A and B are shown apart, each in its own frame.
Chain A
Amino acid sequence: MLRSTTAAVLLVLTPLAAGAQAAAQPAPGPEIASLQITPSERTMKARDTMRLRVRALDASGNEVPGAVVRFNRAGGYFEGDVEADGLIRSGSTGTLPVMVSATQPGRRPVVERLEIKMVPGPAHHIDIATPIATLAIGQRMRYTATAYDNGNDKRDDRVLWTSSNPAVVQVSRDGLARAVAPGSAKLIATAGAATREVAVTVPSRRIASLEVSPASADARTGDVIRFTAKPKDASGRAIDGLTPIWSFSPGQGVIGTDGGFVGYEQGTYTITASFGTQTAEATVTLSARDVRRPLEVVGRSARKRFTTEEVWLHPNGKVAYLGSGSGGDLFYTLDISNPANPIVSDSMVLNTRRVNDLMTNAEGTILVNTREGASDRKNGIVISSLADPLHPVKIAEFTEGMTAGVHSAFVYTQPKFGTHVYATNDGTGAFHIIDISDPYKPKQVAEWRSPRPDAGRSLHDVDVQDGLAYLSYWNDGLIILDVGNGIKGGTPSNPVVVSQYKYDLNDLYRQVELAGGPGFIRGTHTAWRHKNYVFIADEVFPSSGVQGAKDASAGRAYGRLQVIDVSDYANPKSVAFYEPEFGGVHNIWIAGDTLYMGAYNAGFRTFDISGELRGDLRAQQREIAHLNTADMEGFVKNSAMTWGVVVRDGLAYVNDMYNGLWIVRMKPKRGITP
């Protein structure tokens, strides 16, 4: 015992002599009872450093010699870093959980979790949401301002307002302004040392009359109607540059400062424009959108050996390709020349355990499929000849640098640059561009990564249209790259960033964390460009299922589809959304004015996306159809897990992870039966 004891002491104080063998008996002497961690104030500025120190104490409060102390990050993986010796490096605002431990050989570690609050630095600048520059005499207007630090992190400061000339414009501390006399004034927003001014002019002409146009309108729920207010003076001359406060009642909907209104429920709404003393109203009557249509299942190919992954159609419209997952090592070729009777005509077995994505070129001469889970750990992409579309023949593969697996690949041809595969890298989160102009000799021409530390970079999907690549970059939101469009001088071999739309996923899906605990799965998952919008959909799963439940009852997907207006590429903004009551949003397809969606547990859904989009698409009755793609013969029984859809010639080819392929037609609206 004496020998062991001595050795154990040495273990703590000095490394053992090479090769000495001593069992890890509990260390002699006092046990660690508590950790004394300093400083006790654990708030730091974002992007700053801070050092924590700790003393391991015994029950008597004496420091325990030889205890090995370590600091480690316990979360906040994208917000900061923790050195083992207690140096904290903040990367952004937020909360950085830190695990502090003290160990003694053979004994249970003593651990303490603490949180470092990383707050913005001092106010550096102020943004004003509505910098309205002209007010009519008597007009009231609420000004809203937000303070940011020098890293553009938003602060919680209450921004205080003052007026340089209260005789012209008065303003409350909270930013409620009132124009009282002609002239000019500066409204000054202040937060700490930061200030921002809004120059406000009050014309001498008073508003004598006010009109809102259109004075009345008839529309449907979901239609965006733009109202304008026309103030005039006593002589009937228009007073330009004035902005009213818009409101409406009754009913549900939204109206913006631009006068754009969308209502969710049918009925008559009163729209009001207010300049304080002067108000005017308009009326809008909304009828039901009435887009609901019945569905018909035309054909079916149940698959239950593996989960079903991506579906793709050959340009001839007579052949479908269907991937497999959950250990699936093949993709199927289906003869769909008779959609009522899809027939599996061939399959290609590959060294993989998942064919997540597949796509042909526009001519239908080649097919590209992804691989994940190959037994030799080579994954990458496989290229097949479609000389006979029903019987693809593998002609090449590309794995270099993509051995971790490829989740998504998009085949796109630009006459100027040739045909390329735009692919995701499961391991590095990089975006790979592979020239397959000669499909027998694929070669990589570019690799691009989002500008963030390697940690946390994850790329899930790619859509390319008009030479612009829309990357669903998980933690980084939507990133648009010029890969040949020319808007930023990009080419396939030199992709250039156009813009990014990033949003707070943790905040958006707070309820998922409440339901299933922290560490849940969430990220920007897919994107589709249509008109001036990019539709992006998130993939969200809770970190734990329902306790005691199994199979379909054990868990569910969540998620939101957002409509991003990219009319101004430099400033993409979210204007509308859809979120199912139960289920998620996965892959989408848009044809004409219809959006088709695989919504995981929420089944297959279609939406009317005609006209301008704003607000909650579900609330405004834009949903056209729904099919619960569950089947008792499924990979998982009686449970929908709708993946996505391809639309061709009026038929929707819907793939469901658990249930294979559904071929669905939306039928004409039902006639009204007296």
Chain B
Amino acid sequence: MRRAAVRALCAAAACALLPGAKLQAQALATTPVPASVPPQQVYTIAIASEGTDEIAIVTFGPGGARVQAKVPIGLSATDPDGPHGLAVSPDRQFYYVSTAHGTPYGNFWKLRASDNVIVGRVMLGNFPATAQITPEGHLAFVVNFNLHGDMVPSDVSVVGVDDMVELTRIKTCTMPHGSRLNPQGTKHYSACMMDDLLVEIDVATLAVSRHFMLAKGKEEGMTGAPAAMSSGAAHDMSGHGMTAPAAGDDGCSPTWAQPSADGRMLYVACNKSSDIVQIDVATWKMVRRIPTGAGTYNLAVTKDGTKLIATNKRGQSVSIIHLPSGRELARIATRRRVVHGAAVSPDDKYVFISVEGVGSEPGTLEIIDLATLKTVATVDVGQMAGGIDVLR
């Protein structure tokens, strides 16, 4: 019934702040946390809803969280285009959305942030998903996840975003998933969901430079491109991160690769084993495995380098991890199921979480105060909310 009450509070497009929110499940931190206070500035977040072909522009400020605009995206009036990945340009002037569905190819769209007008589009590969723009703002790296096609090696598209042209595709592995650039913009990391691999692309040469085996007990870094794909991970992708592994399955099924704030470490979410592999970029060796909630999926780090945020897709929760110690500070329950993306505010004060929901449930933006480790606001957006980034 509590859930129903919260839903009623948030039934409208706007949702009030939830000071001292009731939604928190476990605060694992032993140190006292301050009480949440309303933000003193307004944040603007963009969230893509794959189920309804729209992007929600949400503001979060002293008055709470509110959907300011719903931006339709896609080509087809009748079939879903499936907006999936979302990335904001470093200068905050534009944002980019990948639409994953197609006949059969998806697209990558450029929208002007000031008025949400589409200013460019380029067709990419099968199921373009996670996207990010290089720090200088000229290139986008978009993984062609190929969720719907056969289990064959796919690639990463490199897009020149000034002209919105696809410059090249770099073949990596089967189902390249959550990907991120290092802060310097010199390396791109993507997780190979069906190959238990992490792949590093050198941005200067636009070629695969190294890869890393992630299965438990088999962790090993290697140079060059993987010689053979499909290295033994189970190929039942049906659950897409929602199916628990069978007993004795040591696979990783990586779903996100996240560099640390200084780029010296890498964190790779192992969705199947529900932990995070930490890799030293210089030595290309594993440092440790950090346990998380069930089905860790997407990751984000604070810019001060102290916190790692992991969405737990199967666990209906978000793990906040203290990076120096590797300790889970809190595991925060979400209102709805199928937790997806995470984006940290530029000032490190909040993390914005997208939650897909199930069936006709709305998607949800859930906002967690990173000081108090509590959810301070939620707002409903379109169904199957996934790609998320902070506009300003």
Point out residues on A near B: beta carbons under 8 Å: 11-12, 15-16, 18-24, 26, 68, 70-72, 74-75, 77, 84, 99, 101, 103, 105-109, 111, 113, 306, 326-330, 349-354, 372-373, 375-378, 399, 403-405, 426-429, 454-458, 474, 519-521, 523, 539, 541, 543, 555, 557, 600, 641, 657
Q: In the complex the two chains form, is A77's CB within 8 Å of B123's CB? A: yes
> Bound state CA distance, A101 and B161, in angstroms?
13
Task: Tell me how far the C-beta of A637 lies from the nearest C-beta in chain B, rounded to whole angstroms.
Answer: 15
Q: In the complex the two chains form, is B359's CB within 8 Å of A77's CB? A: no
Q: In the complex the two chains form, is A105's CB within 8 Å of B204's CB? A: yes
Residue of A nearest to B105 (CB): A77
Q: In the complex the two chains form, is A521's CB within 8 Å of B76's CB? A: yes
Residue of B nearest to A555 (CB): B77
Known pairs A16-B202, A77-B123; list 4 more (Cβ under 8 Å). A15-B204, A103-B139, A458-B103, A541-B77
Interface assignment of B337: CB less than 8 Å from any CB of chain A: yes
Residue of A nearest to B122 (CB): A74
- The 30 listed contacts between A and B (C-beta, < 8 Å) are A15-B204, A18-B223, A18-B282, A20-B282, A21-B182, A68-B206, A70-B158, A84-B168, A101-B168, A103-B139, A108-B162, A326-B80, A327-B384, A349-B359, A351-B359, A353-B80, A353-B383, A372-B80, A373-B80, A376-B242, A376-B243, A377-B237, A399-B238, A404-B147, A427-B104, A454-B150, A455-B104, A539-B78, A641-B77, A657-B78
Q: Residue-by-residue, is B212-234 near A (CB-CB < 8 Å gives 1, otherwise 0)?
A: 00000000000100000000000
Q: What A residues does B121 contact at CB under 8 A?
A: 519
Q: In the complex the two chains form, is B167's CB within 8 Å of A103's CB? A: yes
Q: In the complex the two chains form, is B283's CB within 8 Å of A19's CB? A: yes
Task: Tell me how far the C-beta of B254 lies from the nearest C-beta in chain A, rounded to whole angstroms.
Answer: 17
Q: With A105-B203, A377-B242, A455-B104 in contact, is A24–B184 under 8 Å at CB?
A: yes
Q: In the complex the two chains form, is A101's CB within 8 Å of B51's CB? A: no
Task: Tell me how far the C-beta of B117 lies from the nearest C-beta in chain A, rounded to whole angstroms.
Answer: 9
Q: In the complex the two chains form, is A11's CB within 8 Å of B337's CB? A: no
Residue of B nearest to A309 (CB): B78
Residue of B nearest to A324 (CB): B360
Point out residues on B near A: beta carbons under 8 Å: 50-52, 75-78, 80, 101, 103-105, 121, 123, 134-136, 138-139, 147-150, 158, 160, 162-163, 165-169, 182, 184-186, 202-206, 209-210, 223, 237-240, 242-243, 262-264, 280-284, 337-338, 356-360, 382-384
Q: In the complex the two chains form, is A113's CB within 8 Å of B165's CB? A: yes
Task: Tell me how far the C-beta of B307 lies from the nearest C-beta in chain A, rounded to whole angstroms.
Answer: 21
> Bound state CA distance, A458 and B223, in angstroms?
38
Task: Tell me how far the C-beta of B263 lies from the nearest C-beta in chain A, rounded to whole angstroms.
Answer: 5
- The residue that B75 contacts in the complex, of A23, A372, A543, with Cβ under 8 A, is A543
Task: Tell me how far the C-beta of B166 lies from the nearest C-beta in chain A, rounded to whole angstroms.
Answer: 5
Q: What A residues does B50 contact at CB under 8 A?
A: 373
- The residue that A326 contacts in the complex, of B52, B243, B284, with Cβ under 8 A, is B52
> Bound state CA distance, A445 and B140, in angstroms?
43
Q: With A18-B282, A22-B186 in contact, is A375–B242 under 8 Å at CB?
A: yes
Q: In the complex the two chains form, is A353's CB within 8 Å of B103's CB? A: no
Q: In the complex the two chains form, is B184's CB within 8 Å of A21's CB? A: yes
> Bound state CA distance, A403 and B241, in angstroms?
13
Residue of A nearest to B158 (CB): A70
Q: Closest 10 interchain pairs by CB?
A: A427-B148, A19-B282, A404-B148, A329-B359, A377-B240, A11-B204, A70-B168, A24-B185, A329-B360, A109-B160
Q: With A353-B359, A404-B148, A557-B77 in contact, is A327–B383 under 8 Å at CB?
A: yes
Q: What B residues does A70 contact at CB under 8 A?
A: 158, 167-168, 206
> Bound state CA distance, A523 and B101, in angstroms?
16
> Bound state CA distance, A454 and B149, in angstroms?
9
Q: In the complex the two chains form, is A18's CB within 8 Å of B75's CB? A: no
Q: What B residues does A15 contact at CB under 8 A?
A: 202, 204-205, 209
Q: What A residues does B186 contact at CB under 8 A?
A: 11, 16, 21-24, 105
Q: In the complex the two chains form, is B239's CB within 8 Å of A376's CB? A: yes
Q: With A375-B357, A375-B358, A428-B149 in contact, is A72–B280 under 8 Å at CB?
A: no
Task: Tell me how far the C-beta of A63 lies from the nearest C-beta in chain B, rounded to whole angstroms.
Answer: 18
Q: In the complex the two chains form, is A521's CB within 8 Å of B75's CB? A: yes
Q: What A residues does B150 contact at CB under 8 A?
A: 428, 454
Q: In the complex the two chains form, is B77's CB within 8 Å of A24's CB? A: no
Q: In the complex the two chains form, is A103's CB within 8 Å of B166's CB? A: no
Residue of A nearest to B359 (CB): A329
Q: In the complex the two chains form, is A99's CB within 8 Å of B166's CB? A: yes
Residue of A nearest to B186 (CB): A24
Q: What B residues does A71 contact at CB under 8 A?
A: 168
Task: Tell me how far the C-beta of B134 lies from the nearest C-beta in chain A, rounded to whole angstroms.
Answer: 7
Q: In the complex the two chains form, is A456's CB within 8 Å of B104's CB? A: yes
Task: Tell me how far the C-beta of B58 lies from the nearest C-beta in chain A, rounded to whole angstroms.
Answer: 18
Q: What B residues does A72 contact at CB under 8 A?
A: 165-169
- The residue that B263 contacts in the complex, of A21, A103, A377, with Cβ under 8 A, is A21
Q: With A15-B205, A74-B165, A376-B242 in contact, is A107–B184 under 8 Å at CB?
A: no
Q: In the complex the two chains form, is B358's CB within 8 Å of A24's CB? A: no
Q: In the complex the two chains form, is B204's CB within 8 Å of A428's CB? A: no
> Bound state CA distance, A101 and B166, in angstroms?
9
